[in-house]
Structure 1
């Protein structure tokens, strides 16, 4: 919570100590302040109030504001690396002066105390990070690169050199380069003890059997019948190299997303999925490119429900990226994977797809995607309902469906198609040629009789003569 005024401070005191709020007396030891500063910085940020005591948050104020601010900044700079925060500020509340210290979320490093301890915030406590969580946090913030680590037990022969060779042959400016040299340059191979060894990135991108070495590096794709998980579903476990997984996931989407058929303004039949296919594919590519592969035993989950599509990937948002700035901030924990997938044409190197997905959903008058950090992961969801009239984006008129009846009069499918066309905002008239273009295999005389039949049923009115004739909706 960003503290803006005294009302915000009053709310924090009312809520009490928690994972993002703590308070101390004026003369609290530097080490105590440093511990909470480090814990907040290694978690999701937080606010420290100086001049408050006791569990119930009794305000006793600060007498020497300048010295207190210096004390806080010294504690922040004592961390390794030094923690750079905004200047603490003084606020008056109940005739007392408080010093407000804020640690933003999405800090770029993992911070240690001067005695070497790493802490994180767990509810109201500053707790030590265990080695596994510390390593994961360092990977998330780019201080350790999982991609470039050598794969234990893997050898030169565990790469699919046909796939690697095809990748290199399609790269610009590498026509004369050896495949091995290019993979070394990309970070997919490293020299170790006089031997060439594959890295985690190399195995994931070009491995013959990546899941043998990196457990959990797969996609679980499921289509459920309803809005929640149930007993009726279609499931596919998608394994293989990352490029292969993306291709297979796209096939799963095409096979399992619902399709609808509508008439375009030019009277052509257009088939569309319940979500823009490019947006759905983009979410899968993003998950494959940016998930945390150091998390063993947990893969990407692609779940399609009747009302939404959900993509959950292991690992929280990386580096300085937060839910609040996800549309603008750019950071990748897997730069090698991102680069190679970009070389292959799967993603744009300079963009990570969020803006594109939002734009695609807006174009189809669907709600923007929702983003959520889960316990140990990150989830994006698309919803297939239209934006409401009160929403930020106007709702396009829905395409009508008559189901063979119009104004209590039976109509055939061709007549229904003609009426759907006329009910679209851009269309006020229809001709024989318009309807013929929709049903090119139907004889022209049948098309003429269909439209004439709608005139007889007092649904359409005919205007003009011979070649200049057209039909409009009858005024009832």
Structure 2
């Protein structure tokens, strides 16, 4: 079992701290029902961390059987009504002891019960919800849970076994030992029948079941829609759709470089990390129950617009969007988190804003439309973005290597380049490779060779 350092950012509390509203303790000898009550109480409040040890309370002791403790916690989560979807518990080391850290995400869309009892974490205790408090919580978490529903006629044959195997391998033991049990814990199967979430994530033919899951990507050269554009439509299992869309956006995003002395400085039309956050958030949090339209991502020269069907969920508003957490699709989000495509805690907007600020760009704009949510990432036309910069996107699409791009940038700045100039920029590369790089640029019609032997230099053709 891999060990996890205690500087993990996902934990909301650490061993040794007093129990509280977001930190609870349990013994590995605790009953499944007792564990389930604590997990449900945290989920019905603001989430938090449960530390399981071989001792009692804050009197910590090393686990006697870590694997059994993990299975017991997962069984407890599954025994909640509805089943509670949590990240895989993690073995951590604390003062030489192996303990189990169990994260309960915040912002879940359901109200959880254990054997008909509804509890909520208040201070260091799990307390029953009063009728008024329970009614209020149900009102706040009013989503019907479309991702948990099983569509008519769904069967295991609709799932791609290769995708499931790869996912289980990524998650690893013990959860990966039984892929179907893992999918059940993740809310992708109910009684052996795929849920909507399971079909979206692992389906063989997503387009047949859910045409509304399509991503439409469009790139315009200017600031407004025009007759000339490039377009890609993607309807695939959600992890694959994210990866394909990210590649397309990176390929169509204008990239540039400039030479500062012998060093190359690269820049992009938009911060790639911010683009990725906007894309992943749209896929993870859109309302898939809304049919008739998919996610639309439109790239202009000065901005990127990302539209997803469905208004803001739960209690999240435009005013509190940075502070509040609410997951419309917890099963989808958890699987994407397992695959490393999204952070489970939901701080994507904060990261997006930080990346824009680091690039010297204004904050993103967030808007609710009549039936959806729109994110606008600001950017700048490349000619205005970096003084002396050159758009190198076309060169990259031609398959030029970094040395050849450096050579062309050097010629743009200095009007000519020699073998020695390029050799000084890349001293670890052989002279023969440098010669072939420049010769290839000549054969491609990008450079013109002037002179002979030691007097040879190259200029733009």
Question: TM-score scaled to structure 1, two decimals?
Answer: 0.53
Please give the alpha-carbon distance, in whole angstroms, between the structure 2 residues aligned to 1:245 and 1:180: 23
TM superposition shift of 1:177? 2.3
Of 297-306 and 270-279, deviating more is 270-279
TM superposition shift of 1:211? 2.1
TM superposition shift of 1:350? 1.1
The correspondence of residues 180-329 of structure 1 with structure 2, limited to 5 A, is 180-191=180-191, 196-263=192-259, 267-329=262-324
Please give the alpha-carbon distance, in whole angstroms, between the structure 1 residues aligned to 2:139 and 2:178: 31
**Partner of residue 115, structure 1:** none
Please give the alpha-carbon distance, in whole angstroms, between the structure 2 residues aligned to 1:272 and 1:323: 31
SS at match of 1:262: strand
SS at match of 1:216: helix
Q: Is the 8 A contact 1:372 1:379 kept in 2?
A: yes
Cα deviation 1:113-142 (Å, max 9, x = unaligned): xxxxxxxxxxxxxxxxxxxxxxxxx99954
Please give the alpha-carbon distance, in whole angstroms, between the structure 1 residues aligned to 2:390 and 2:347: 42
**Partner of residue 179, structure 2:** 179
Please give the alpha-carbon distance, in whole angstroms, between the structure 2 residues aligned to 1:402 and 1:350: 39
**Partner of residue 149, structure 1:** 149
The correspondence of residues 417-432 of structure 1 with structure 2, limited to 5 A, is 417=413
Cα deviation 1:236-256 (Å, max 9, x = unaligned): 101110001001101111221
Aligned in 2, Cα 1:434/1:176: closer, same or farther, shift over 3 Å? closer
Aligned in 2, Cα 1:294/1:139: closer, same or farther, shift over 3 Å? farther
**Partner of residue 84, structure 2:** none
TM superposition shift of 1:418? 7.4
SS at match of 1:379: strand
**Partner of residue 332, structure 1:** 327
Please give the alpha-carbon distance, in whole angstroms, between the structure 2 residues aligned to 1:323 and 1:413: 44
Q: Is the 8 A contact 1:140 1:318 kept in 2?
A: no
Aligned in 2, Cα 1:355/1:178: closer, same or farther, shift over 3 Å? same
Aligned in 2, Cα 1:139/1:271: closer, same or farther, shift over 3 Å? farther
Q: Is the 8 A contact 2:258 2:409 kept in 1?
A: no
TM superposition shift of 1:368? 1.0
Aligned in 2, Cα 1:330/1:244: closer, same or farther, shift over 3 Å? same
**Partner of residue 345, structure 1:** 340
Q: Is the 8 A contact 2:258 2:389 kept in 1?
A: no
Please give the alpha-carbon distance, in whole angstroms, between the structure 2 residues aligned to 1:140 and 1:332: 12
Please give the alpha-carbon distance, in whole angstroms, between the structure 1 residues aligned to 2:255 and 2:285: 29
From 349, 358, 362, the equivalent of 1:354 is 349
TM superposition shift of 1:305? 1.1
Please give the alpha-carbon distance, in whole angstroms, between the structure 2 residues aligned to 1:325 and 1:402: 40
Indicate whether 1:363 and 2:351 are aligned.
no
TM superposition shift of 1:435? 10
Unmatched runs of 5 consecutive residues or more in structure 1: 1-105, 110-137, 387-395, 404-411, 420-431, 444-476
TM superposition shift of 1:153? 2.3
Cα deviation 1:342-382 (Å, max 9, x = unaligned): 00000111134101011101111011111000110000011
TM superposition shift of 1:225? 2.5
SS at match of 1:221: strand
Aligned in 2, Cα 1:413/1:434: closer, same or farther, shift over 3 Å? closer
TM superposition shift of 1:272? 2.8
Please give the alpha-carbon distance, in whole angstroms, between the structure 1 residues aligned to 2:378 and 2:427: 33
Give the RMSD, CA atoms, in angstroms: 3.3
Please give the alpha-carbon distance, in whole angstroms, between the structure 2 residues aligned to 1:204 and 1:416: 48
Aligned in 2, Cα 1:205/1:147: closer, same or farther, shift over 3 Å? same
Please give the alpha-carbon distance, in whole angstroms, between the structure 2 residues aligned to 1:139 and 1:159: 34
Cα deviation 1:29-76 (Å, max 9, x = unaligned): xxxxxxxxxxxxxxxxxxxxxxxxxxxxxxxxxxxxxxxxxxxxxxxx
Q: Is the 8 A contact 2:305 2:377 kept in 1?
A: yes
TM superposition shift of 1:282? 1.1
TM superposition shift of 1:438? 7.0
Please give the alpha-carbon distance, in whole angstroms, between the structure 1 residues aligned to 2:227 and 2:304: 18
TM superposition shift of 1:263? 3.6
SS at match of 1:170: helix
Cα deviation 1:297-333 (Å, max 9, x = unaligned): 1100010012211000000011111111111111110
Aligned in 2, Cα 1:291/1:376: closer, same or farther, shift over 3 Å? same
Aligned in 2, Cα 1:442/1:378: closer, same or farther, shift over 3 Å? same
Please give the alpha-carbon distance, in whole angstroms, between the structure 2 residues aligned to 1:402 and 1:200: 46
Higher relative contact order (CA 8 A, sep 6+): 2
Indicate whether 1:399 and 2:393 are aligned.
no
Question: TM-score scaled to structure 2, two decimals?
Answer: 0.54
TM superposition shift of 1:414? 4.0
